[in-house]
Chains A and B, each alone.
Chain A
């Protein structure tokens, strides 16, 4: 890619332009920065670092947030099955 690079975001490969910061990427993905945690190559970033941290080829980024929990998915499947059986 000309002027581009490939990074991994939440386990998926993603092509993006060079010079992108973590903050840029979050905006591009339409993710509000409050209540998310970002881990860059296993290092947890402080919120104020989002705009300062540039991304480079091969970086692995994890973006996490809160979900209903903590139910292992098999319970959700069990409930569906129970409902079905009723």
Chain B
């Protein structure tokens, strides 16, 4: 599938599986899971350095920014101001202009505050950021995000960490049909079939964290997700058969006794 590269804002990505780096037991497990997943985009959060315990290792000692595209997120931000502040800090920390923009609306659902998201995206795009917005499965909001200059949109499948899979396939399909930038289904994937389905619907990539990190065997799940995303992509490109209510025989009747 070398001719099937994903391109966002002029950057080429080999893998259509993107992974988060949270919730792992340790950095060794994080590194191994990412390697096995084949992902070349990894999301990270921006937080205070632990100044009292300097023995704490740095994530980027394990995840080489030369090998992976580091995608900082604004996880945990509930206001436009915070999301913009964390984005600027991420850029100052020196990885790139990329940001996975999250403006959360509510602690219980972690659903995006889409009004705040659009506002924050406008500010950041003006400052030269490449904004990849974590958004709801709302086609109108997705269109607005593209209109203001987001080079991709990242609608959720289900609430972050819920593992519920794709709750609204029809909305996602509408987004994929109507929005002419890459769609990365982000959040809510529970198992391999969820990821395969997202790709079969026509998603350009899938981003997940908990589904891998929270599995009983994260390394094995990372591998499962790699194949699921790959299989889903191949099936999408191959074009599935239409659904029919009644049977159609696969073997010819001719030549029967």
Contacts and interface: CB of A to CB of B under 8 A. Distances in A.
B51 A63 contact: yes
B92 A69 contact: no
Nearest to A33: B94
A36 B88 CA distance: 12
Interface string A48-86: 000000000000001111111111100110010010001
Contacts of A69: 20-22, 43-47, 73, 75
Given A68-B23, A70-B76, A29 B46 contact: no
A9 interface: yes
Nearest to A29: B51
A39 B89 contact: yes
B76 A72 contact: yes
Contacts of B43: 69-70
A63 B75 contact: no
B75 A72 contact: yes
B70 interface: yes
Contacts, number: 128
A14 B48 CA distance: 16
Nearest to A71: B22
Contact of B45 (A11, A29, A34, A70): A70
A68 B30 contact: yes
Contacts of A46: 92
A66 B161 contact: no
A29 B89 contact: no
B236 interface: no
Interface of A: 9-12, 29-32, 34-39, 44-47, 62-72, 75-76, 79, 82, 86
Smallest CB-CB A-B distances: 3 pairs: A70-B75, A69-B45, A71-B22
8 contacts: A34-B94, A44-B89, A62-B48, A66-B45, A66-B70, A66-B90, A68-B22, A76-B23
